[in-house]
Chains A and B, each alone.
Chain A
Amino acid sequence: MSQPDPTLLPASMELPLLAPPPLDRISEPPAARSVPENLLALLYRQMRGLAGPRADLDDLVQAAAERALKSWSRFEGRSALSTWTYGIAYRTLIDHDRWYQRWRRRFSFDADGEPDQPQPFDAEGDLSQLGRARRLREVLDELPPAKRAVVILAELEGLSMREVSEIVGCNERTVRSRLRDARQKLVELLAGDPLFQEAEP
Protein backbone atom coordinates (compact mmCIF):
# COMPACT_ATOMS: atom_id res chain seq x y z
CA MET A 1 0.00 0.00 0.00
CA SER A 2 1.55 3.30 -1.03
CA GLN A 3 2.24 6.08 1.46
CA PRO A 4 0.65 9.51 0.79
CA ASP A 5 3.14 12.00 -0.54
CA PRO A 6 4.38 14.19 2.36
CA THR A 7 5.39 16.92 -0.08
CA LEU A 8 1.71 17.76 -0.38
CA LEU A 9 2.01 19.54 2.95
CA PRO A 10 2.38 23.33 2.82
CA ALA A 11 5.89 24.18 1.83
CA SER A 12 6.08 27.27 4.00
CA MET A 13 5.74 25.28 7.22
CA GLU A 14 9.12 24.59 8.66
CA LEU A 15 7.73 22.41 11.39
CA PRO A 16 8.31 18.70 10.89
CA LEU A 17 4.67 17.95 10.24
CA LEU A 18 3.40 14.47 10.67
CA ALA A 19 2.67 12.86 7.36
CA PRO A 20 -0.97 11.92 6.88
CA PRO A 21 -1.58 8.54 8.52
CA PRO A 22 -0.95 5.60 6.24
CA LEU A 23 -4.05 4.17 4.66
CA ASP A 24 -3.84 0.93 6.61
CA ARG A 25 -4.11 2.91 9.87
CA ILE A 26 -7.36 4.58 8.92
CA SER A 27 -9.37 1.53 9.90
CA GLU A 28 -7.74 1.61 13.35
CA PRO A 29 -10.09 2.93 16.06
CA PRO A 30 -9.35 6.69 16.31
CA ALA A 31 -9.01 6.62 20.09
CA ALA A 32 -6.09 4.21 19.74
CA ARG A 33 -4.01 6.84 17.90
CA SER A 34 -2.06 9.03 20.24
CA VAL A 35 -2.13 12.83 19.97
CA PRO A 36 0.96 14.01 18.03
CA GLU A 37 3.61 15.70 20.12
CA ASN A 38 3.85 18.70 17.84
CA LEU A 39 0.12 19.48 17.99
CA LEU A 40 0.54 22.61 20.13
CA ALA A 41 3.47 23.91 18.09
CA LEU A 42 1.50 23.33 14.91
CA LEU A 43 -1.57 25.11 16.28
CA TYR A 44 0.56 28.00 17.53
CA ARG A 45 2.18 28.47 14.15
CA GLN A 46 -1.14 28.28 12.31
CA MET A 47 -3.02 30.53 14.69
CA ARG A 48 -0.21 33.08 14.56
CA GLY A 49 -0.47 33.07 10.79
CA LEU A 50 -4.24 33.52 10.81
CA ALA A 51 -4.57 35.97 13.72
CA GLY A 52 -1.21 37.71 13.62
CA PRO A 53 1.03 38.40 16.61
CA ARG A 54 -1.58 39.72 19.01
CA ALA A 55 -1.79 39.90 22.77
CA ASP A 56 -4.36 37.14 23.18
CA LEU A 57 -2.62 34.72 20.82
CA ASP A 58 -1.80 32.23 23.61
CA ASP A 59 -5.42 32.19 24.72
CA LEU A 60 -6.58 31.55 21.18
CA VAL A 61 -4.12 28.69 20.79
CA GLN A 62 -5.19 27.27 24.13
CA ALA A 63 -8.85 27.37 23.10
CA ALA A 64 -8.01 25.75 19.76
CA ALA A 65 -5.94 23.06 21.50
CA GLU A 66 -8.81 22.26 23.82
CA ARG A 67 -11.10 21.84 20.83
CA ALA A 68 -8.54 19.69 19.04
CA LEU A 69 -8.01 17.41 22.03
CA LYS A 70 -11.73 17.11 22.57
CA SER A 71 -12.40 16.07 18.99
CA TRP A 72 -9.21 14.08 18.45
CA SER A 73 -11.11 10.81 18.56
CA ARG A 74 -13.18 12.02 15.60
CA PHE A 75 -10.15 12.79 13.45
CA GLU A 76 -10.24 10.00 10.91
CA GLY A 77 -7.08 10.86 9.06
CA ARG A 78 -8.88 11.44 5.75
CA SER A 79 -7.25 14.85 5.47
CA ALA A 80 -3.75 15.86 6.51
CA LEU A 81 -3.26 16.64 10.18
CA SER A 82 -2.25 20.21 9.35
CA THR A 83 -5.48 20.76 7.36
CA TRP A 84 -7.54 19.45 10.26
CA THR A 85 -5.76 21.64 12.81
CA TYR A 86 -5.98 24.64 10.48
CA GLY A 87 -9.75 24.13 10.37
CA ILE A 88 -9.90 24.12 14.16
CA ALA A 89 -7.69 27.20 14.43
CA TYR A 90 -9.84 29.03 11.85
CA ARG A 91 -13.14 28.20 13.58
CA THR A 92 -11.76 29.13 17.01
CA LEU A 93 -10.56 32.48 15.71
CA ILE A 94 -13.83 33.24 13.91
CA ASP A 95 -15.89 32.31 17.00
CA HIS A 96 -13.70 34.43 19.28
CA ASP A 97 -13.81 37.43 17.00
CA ARG A 98 -17.58 37.14 16.61
CA TRP A 99 -17.95 37.13 20.39
CA TYR A 100 -15.67 40.13 20.64
CA GLN A 101 -17.47 42.03 17.89
CA ARG A 102 -20.84 41.34 19.53
CA TRP A 103 -19.70 42.95 22.75
CA ARG A 104 -17.97 45.73 20.91
CA ARG A 105 -21.22 46.57 19.10
CA ARG A 106 -23.09 46.80 22.34
CA PHE A 107 -20.44 48.48 24.47
CA SER A 108 -17.63 50.74 23.49
CA PHE A 109 -14.25 49.23 24.06
CA ASP A 110 -12.50 52.36 22.94
CA ALA A 111 -10.01 52.45 25.81
CA ASP A 112 -10.06 48.92 27.06
CA GLY A 113 -6.42 48.09 26.67
CA GLU A 114 -7.19 46.70 23.20
CA PRO A 115 -6.56 43.01 23.66
CA ASP A 116 -6.32 42.57 19.93
CA GLN A 117 -3.60 45.14 19.45
CA PRO A 118 -0.74 43.69 17.46
CA GLN A 119 2.33 42.84 19.48
CA PRO A 120 5.73 44.10 18.33
CA PHE A 121 6.70 42.13 15.26
CA ASP A 122 9.42 39.61 15.85
CA ALA A 123 10.37 38.97 12.26
CA GLU A 124 13.93 37.90 11.88
CA GLY A 125 15.75 39.37 8.96
CA ASP A 126 16.60 42.73 7.52
CA LEU A 127 14.73 45.89 8.34
CA SER A 128 12.99 46.19 5.00
CA GLN A 129 11.57 42.68 5.41
CA LEU A 130 10.46 43.60 8.91
CA GLY A 131 8.74 46.73 7.59
CA ARG A 132 7.10 44.80 4.79
CA ALA A 133 5.91 42.11 7.19
CA ARG A 134 4.37 44.71 9.45
CA ARG A 135 2.69 46.50 6.58
CA LEU A 136 1.44 43.21 5.15
CA ARG A 137 -0.21 42.36 8.47
CA GLU A 138 -1.80 45.80 8.63
CA VAL A 139 -3.23 45.36 5.15
CA LEU A 140 -4.42 41.84 5.95
CA ASP A 141 -6.18 43.15 9.03
CA GLU A 142 -8.14 45.51 6.82
CA LEU A 143 -9.71 42.59 4.96
CA PRO A 144 -12.89 40.88 6.19
CA PRO A 145 -12.03 37.77 8.28
CA ALA A 146 -13.26 35.19 5.76
CA LYS A 147 -11.34 36.77 2.86
CA ARG A 148 -8.29 37.34 5.03
CA ALA A 149 -8.16 33.66 5.95
CA VAL A 150 -8.48 32.57 2.32
CA VAL A 151 -5.72 34.86 1.06
CA ILE A 152 -3.41 33.80 3.91
CA LEU A 153 -4.00 30.11 3.34
CA ALA A 154 -3.97 30.05 -0.44
CA GLU A 155 -1.70 32.91 -1.42
CA LEU A 156 0.78 33.14 1.45
CA GLU A 157 0.80 29.61 2.87
CA GLY A 158 0.45 28.02 -0.54
CA LEU A 159 -2.29 25.54 0.31
CA SER A 160 -4.37 24.02 -2.47
CA MET A 161 -7.95 25.11 -3.17
CA ARG A 162 -9.24 21.76 -1.89
CA GLU A 163 -7.41 22.18 1.42
CA VAL A 164 -8.56 25.77 1.84
CA SER A 165 -12.16 24.85 1.12
CA GLU A 166 -11.91 22.06 3.70
CA ILE A 167 -10.48 24.45 6.30
CA VAL A 168 -12.97 27.26 5.87
CA GLY A 169 -15.91 24.93 5.24
CA CYS A 170 -16.96 26.38 1.87
CA ASN A 171 -16.98 24.95 -1.61
CA GLU A 172 -14.07 25.62 -3.93
CA ARG A 173 -16.05 28.08 -6.04
CA THR A 174 -16.70 30.30 -3.06
CA VAL A 175 -13.07 30.05 -2.03
CA ARG A 176 -11.91 31.07 -5.51
CA SER A 177 -14.26 34.03 -5.53
CA ARG A 178 -13.10 35.17 -2.10
CA LEU A 179 -9.49 34.70 -3.08
CA ARG A 180 -9.91 36.79 -6.23
CA ASP A 181 -11.44 39.67 -4.27
CA ALA A 182 -8.95 39.45 -1.43
CA ARG A 183 -5.94 39.23 -3.75
CA GLN A 184 -7.13 42.23 -5.72
CA LYS A 185 -7.58 44.27 -2.55
CA LEU A 186 -4.22 43.14 -1.19
CA VAL A 187 -2.36 44.12 -4.35
CA GLU A 188 -4.25 47.40 -4.50
CA LEU A 189 -3.21 48.35 -0.98
CA LEU A 190 0.35 47.09 -1.20
CA ALA A 191 1.17 48.43 -4.65
CA GLY A 192 0.96 52.01 -3.42
CA ASP A 193 3.29 51.35 -0.53
CA PRO A 194 6.91 52.44 -0.92
CA LEU A 195 8.09 49.29 0.85
CA PHE A 196 6.64 47.19 -1.94
CA GLN A 197 8.00 49.32 -4.76
CA GLU A 198 11.36 47.75 -5.20
CA ALA A 199 13.15 47.74 -8.50
CA GLU A 200 11.71 44.94 -10.55
CA PRO A 201 14.02 42.03 -11.14
Chain B
Amino acid sequence: MSTREERVLELAREAWRASEPSEAKVEIAARRIERKLRRGRARPARRHTLVLAFLVVFGGALAWAASGGVQRFSEGASPQRAPALERAARGGLGSDSESWARRTRAPAEHQALTHELTQPGQPMPEAERREQAKPKPASPAPAASWRAVDEALDAKDDARAKQALEGLAKSGDPTTRAKARLGLAQLARSKGDCASARRIAGEIGTMEGVDSSVTKRAAALVAECE
Protein backbone atom coordinates (compact mmCIF):
# COMPACT_ATOMS: atom_id res chain seq x y z
CA MET B 1 0.00 0.00 0.00
CA SER B 2 1.45 3.37 -1.01
CA THR B 3 2.13 6.24 1.40
CA ARG B 4 -0.73 8.18 -0.07
CA GLU B 5 -3.15 5.33 0.47
CA GLU B 6 -1.86 4.95 4.02
CA ARG B 7 -2.52 8.65 4.55
CA VAL B 8 -6.09 8.30 3.26
CA LEU B 9 -6.68 5.44 5.67
CA GLU B 10 -5.16 7.46 8.50
CA LEU B 11 -7.53 10.35 7.75
CA ALA B 12 -10.41 7.88 7.67
CA ARG B 13 -9.42 6.56 11.11
CA GLU B 14 -9.25 10.11 12.47
CA ALA B 15 -12.66 10.92 11.02
CA TRP B 16 -14.00 7.70 12.50
CA ARG B 17 -12.76 8.58 15.96
CA ALA B 18 -14.11 12.12 15.64
CA SER B 19 -17.55 10.82 14.73
CA GLU B 20 -17.84 8.69 17.85
CA PRO B 21 -20.58 9.93 20.15
CA SER B 22 -19.64 11.52 23.44
CA GLU B 23 -19.93 9.66 26.72
CA ALA B 24 -22.97 11.74 27.70
CA LYS B 25 -24.80 10.97 24.45
CA VAL B 26 -24.15 7.26 24.85
CA GLU B 27 -25.41 7.35 28.43
CA ILE B 28 -28.60 9.16 27.43
CA ALA B 29 -29.22 6.69 24.60
CA ALA B 30 -28.55 3.72 26.90
CA ARG B 31 -31.07 5.01 29.44
CA ARG B 32 -33.63 5.64 26.70
CA ILE B 33 -33.23 2.09 25.39
CA GLU B 34 -33.33 0.66 28.90
CA ARG B 35 -36.73 2.31 29.45
CA LYS B 36 -38.00 0.82 26.17
CA LEU B 37 -36.59 -2.53 27.09
CA ARG B 38 -38.38 -2.53 30.44
CA ARG B 39 -41.65 -1.54 28.79
CA GLY B 40 -41.32 -4.07 26.00
CA ARG B 41 -40.31 -7.06 28.07
CA ALA B 42 -43.08 -9.12 29.53
CA ARG B 43 -41.10 -12.30 29.79
CA PRO B 44 -41.72 -13.12 33.48
CA ALA B 45 -45.48 -12.90 32.90
CA ARG B 46 -45.16 -15.07 29.81
CA ARG B 47 -43.13 -17.60 31.78
CA HIS B 48 -45.74 -17.70 34.53
CA THR B 49 -48.45 -18.31 31.95
CA LEU B 50 -46.46 -21.18 30.47
CA VAL B 51 -45.89 -22.74 33.89
CA LEU B 52 -49.60 -22.39 34.71
CA ALA B 53 -50.60 -23.93 31.37
CA PHE B 54 -48.20 -26.82 31.96
CA LEU B 55 -49.62 -27.42 35.45
CA VAL B 56 -53.20 -27.42 34.12
CA VAL B 57 -52.32 -29.88 31.33
CA PHE B 58 -50.33 -32.06 33.70
CA GLY B 59 -53.14 -32.06 36.29
CA GLY B 60 -55.66 -32.93 33.60
CA ALA B 61 -53.52 -35.78 32.37
CA LEU B 62 -53.14 -37.13 35.91
CA ALA B 63 -56.91 -36.94 36.51
CA TRP B 64 -57.56 -38.70 33.21
CA ALA B 65 -55.06 -41.44 34.03
CA ALA B 66 -56.49 -41.85 37.54
CA SER B 67 -60.00 -42.33 36.13
CA GLY B 68 -58.77 -45.31 34.10
CA GLY B 69 -58.23 -43.41 30.88
CA VAL B 70 -55.01 -45.22 30.06
CA GLN B 71 -56.66 -48.62 30.30
CA ARG B 72 -59.60 -47.49 28.16
CA PHE B 73 -57.25 -45.96 25.64
CA SER B 74 -55.17 -49.14 25.32
CA GLU B 75 -58.37 -51.14 24.83
CA GLY B 76 -59.58 -48.69 22.23
CA ALA B 77 -56.27 -48.78 20.41
CA SER B 78 -56.20 -52.59 20.14
CA PRO B 79 -57.43 -54.06 16.86
CA GLN B 80 -60.03 -56.26 18.60
CA ARG B 81 -62.59 -53.81 19.86
CA ALA B 82 -65.49 -56.19 20.38
CA PRO B 83 -65.04 -56.59 24.15
CA ALA B 84 -64.81 -52.85 24.55
CA LEU B 85 -67.97 -52.37 22.48
CA GLU B 86 -69.77 -54.94 24.56
CA ARG B 87 -68.72 -53.23 27.73
CA ALA B 88 -69.80 -49.88 26.31
CA ALA B 89 -73.20 -51.36 25.35
CA ARG B 90 -73.60 -52.84 28.81
CA GLY B 91 -72.68 -49.53 30.40
CA GLY B 92 -75.50 -47.79 28.51
CA LEU B 93 -75.45 -44.41 26.81
CA GLY B 94 -75.48 -42.50 30.07
CA SER B 95 -72.03 -43.72 30.96
CA ASP B 96 -68.87 -42.04 29.78
CA SER B 97 -68.37 -44.76 27.17
CA GLU B 98 -70.06 -42.61 24.56
CA SER B 99 -67.81 -39.65 25.08
CA TRP B 100 -64.84 -41.99 25.16
CA ALA B 101 -65.94 -43.45 21.84
CA ARG B 102 -66.33 -39.95 20.42
CA ARG B 103 -62.85 -39.03 21.53
CA THR B 104 -61.03 -42.12 20.33
CA ARG B 105 -62.74 -42.87 17.02
CA ALA B 106 -63.11 -41.21 13.68
CA PRO B 107 -66.48 -39.40 13.19
CA ALA B 108 -67.90 -42.06 10.80
CA GLU B 109 -66.86 -44.85 13.08
CA HIS B 110 -68.32 -42.98 16.02
CA GLN B 111 -71.65 -42.66 14.19
CA ALA B 112 -71.63 -46.39 13.49
CA LEU B 113 -70.91 -47.14 17.11
CA THR B 114 -73.67 -44.80 18.30
CA HIS B 115 -76.08 -46.45 15.89
CA GLU B 116 -75.08 -49.86 17.16
CA LEU B 117 -75.55 -48.78 20.75
CA THR B 118 -78.91 -47.07 20.25
CA GLN B 119 -80.43 -49.60 17.83
CA PRO B 120 -78.67 -52.90 18.53
CA GLY B 121 -79.13 -55.58 15.89
CA GLN B 122 -80.61 -53.20 13.28
CA PRO B 123 -78.49 -52.50 10.21
CA MET B 124 -77.58 -48.92 9.52
CA PRO B 125 -79.53 -47.40 6.56
CA GLU B 126 -77.44 -47.64 3.36
CA ALA B 127 -77.81 -43.94 2.48
CA GLU B 128 -76.62 -42.88 5.89
CA ARG B 129 -73.69 -45.28 5.72
CA ARG B 130 -72.67 -43.97 2.29
CA GLU B 131 -72.92 -40.39 3.48
CA GLN B 132 -70.64 -41.14 6.40
CA ALA B 133 -68.19 -43.12 4.33
CA LYS B 134 -67.62 -40.13 2.03
CA PRO B 135 -64.14 -38.75 2.53
CA LYS B 136 -64.31 -35.31 4.07
CA PRO B 137 -62.21 -32.66 2.32
CA ALA B 138 -59.03 -32.24 4.30
CA SER B 139 -58.34 -28.65 5.18
CA PRO B 140 -54.61 -28.10 4.85
CA ALA B 141 -53.21 -26.37 7.90
CA PRO B 142 -51.43 -23.22 6.81
CA ALA B 143 -47.79 -23.25 7.78
CA ALA B 144 -47.44 -19.85 9.40
CA SER B 145 -43.79 -19.01 9.11
CA TRP B 146 -41.72 -16.46 7.27
CA ARG B 147 -40.23 -19.32 5.27
CA ALA B 148 -43.73 -20.24 4.10
CA VAL B 149 -44.35 -16.61 3.15
CA ASP B 150 -41.06 -16.48 1.28
CA GLU B 151 -41.77 -19.67 -0.59
CA ALA B 152 -45.25 -18.54 -1.52
CA LEU B 153 -43.97 -15.16 -2.72
CA ASP B 154 -41.24 -16.83 -4.74
CA ALA B 155 -43.86 -19.09 -6.32
CA LYS B 156 -46.01 -15.98 -6.93
CA ASP B 157 -48.78 -17.71 -5.00
CA ASP B 158 -50.37 -14.68 -3.36
CA ALA B 159 -53.21 -16.70 -1.82
CA ARG B 160 -50.80 -18.97 0.04
CA ALA B 161 -48.66 -15.99 1.05
CA LYS B 162 -51.77 -14.29 2.40
CA GLN B 163 -52.74 -17.41 4.31
CA ALA B 164 -49.29 -17.69 5.87
CA LEU B 165 -49.25 -13.98 6.71
CA GLU B 166 -52.65 -14.28 8.36
CA GLY B 167 -51.24 -17.08 10.46
CA LEU B 168 -48.28 -14.92 11.47
CA ALA B 169 -50.64 -12.05 12.24
CA LYS B 170 -51.92 -14.15 15.15
CA SER B 171 -48.44 -14.52 16.64
CA GLY B 172 -47.81 -13.72 20.28
CA ASP B 173 -45.08 -11.25 19.42
CA PRO B 174 -46.42 -7.77 18.61
CA THR B 175 -43.68 -6.97 16.12
CA THR B 176 -44.22 -10.24 14.23
CA ARG B 177 -47.96 -9.49 14.19
CA ALA B 178 -47.30 -6.00 12.88
CA LYS B 179 -44.82 -7.22 10.25
CA ALA B 180 -47.34 -9.77 9.07
CA ARG B 181 -50.04 -7.11 8.85
CA LEU B 182 -47.66 -4.86 6.95
CA GLY B 183 -47.09 -7.76 4.56
CA LEU B 184 -50.85 -8.16 4.11
CA ALA B 185 -51.16 -4.43 3.42
CA GLN B 186 -48.36 -4.61 0.88
CA LEU B 187 -50.01 -7.59 -0.78
CA ALA B 188 -53.27 -5.67 -1.02
CA ARG B 189 -51.43 -2.69 -2.48
CA SER B 190 -49.65 -4.85 -5.04
CA LYS B 191 -53.10 -5.93 -6.25
CA GLY B 192 -54.19 -2.29 -6.49
CA ASP B 193 -56.53 -2.57 -3.50
CA CYS B 194 -55.43 0.62 -1.79
CA ALA B 195 -58.51 0.85 0.43
CA SER B 196 -57.70 -2.47 2.13
CA ALA B 197 -53.99 -1.69 2.18
CA ARG B 198 -54.60 1.62 3.95
CA ARG B 199 -57.03 0.04 6.40
CA ILE B 200 -54.66 -2.80 7.36
CA ALA B 201 -51.61 -0.54 7.54
CA GLY B 202 -53.60 2.01 9.54
CA GLU B 203 -54.33 -0.62 12.18
CA ILE B 204 -50.60 -1.13 12.75
CA GLY B 205 -50.38 2.40 14.13
CA THR B 206 -52.78 1.48 16.92
CA MET B 207 -50.84 -1.63 17.99
CA GLU B 208 -48.61 -1.46 21.03
CA GLY B 209 -45.08 -2.72 21.48
CA VAL B 210 -44.34 -2.69 17.76
CA ASP B 211 -40.89 -2.03 16.31
CA SER B 212 -40.80 1.61 15.18
CA SER B 213 -39.37 0.71 11.75
CA VAL B 214 -42.52 -1.31 11.01
CA THR B 215 -44.81 1.50 12.17
CA LYS B 216 -42.95 3.96 9.97
CA ARG B 217 -43.31 1.74 6.93
CA ALA B 218 -46.99 1.29 7.65
CA ALA B 219 -47.45 5.05 7.97
CA ALA B 220 -45.59 5.59 4.70
CA LEU B 221 -47.80 3.06 2.96
CA VAL B 222 -50.93 4.80 4.23
CA ALA B 223 -49.58 8.11 2.98
CA GLU B 224 -48.51 6.96 -0.46
CA CYS B 225 -51.30 4.54 -1.40
CA GLU B 226 -54.11 6.48 -3.04
Query: A residues touching B (Cβ–Cβ < 8 Å)?
Result: 12, 14-15, 38, 40-41, 44-45, 48-49, 55-56, 58-59, 61-63, 65-66, 99-100, 102-103, 106-107, 109, 111-113, 115, 121-125, 129-130, 132-133, 135-137, 155-156, 183, 186-187, 190-191, 196, 198, 200-201
DSSP class of A's interface residues: helix, strand, loop or mixed? helix
Inter-chain contact B189/A58, CB cutoff 8 Å: no
Interface range, B side: 35 or more
| In the bound complex, CA of A111 to CA of B32 (Å) | 28
**A-B Cβ contacts below 8 A, count:** 135
Q: Which of B11, B21, B22, B182 contacts A132 (CB 8 A)?
A: B11
| In the bound complex, CA of A169 to CA of B186 (Å) | 34
Inter-chain contact B25/A191, CB cutoff 8 Å: no
Does chain A have a CB within 8 A of B40?
A: yes
| In the bound complex, CA of A93 to CA of B179 (Å) | 17
Query: B residues touching A (Cβ–Cβ < 8 Å)?
Result: 1, 3-5, 7-9, 11-23, 25-27, 29-30, 32-34, 36-37, 40-41, 150, 153, 179, 182-183, 186, 189-190, 211-213, 216-217, 219-221, 224
16 A-B pairs whose Cβ atoms sit less than 8 Å apart in the complex: A41-B26, A56-B211, A56-B212, A62-B33, A66-B41, A107-B190, A121-B19, A129-B18, A133-B18, A133-B19, A187-B8, A190-B8, A196-B12, A198-B7, A198-B11, A200-B7
Inter-chain contact A102/B150, CB cutoff 8 Å: yes
Chain B residue at minimum C-beta to C-beta distance from A70: B43
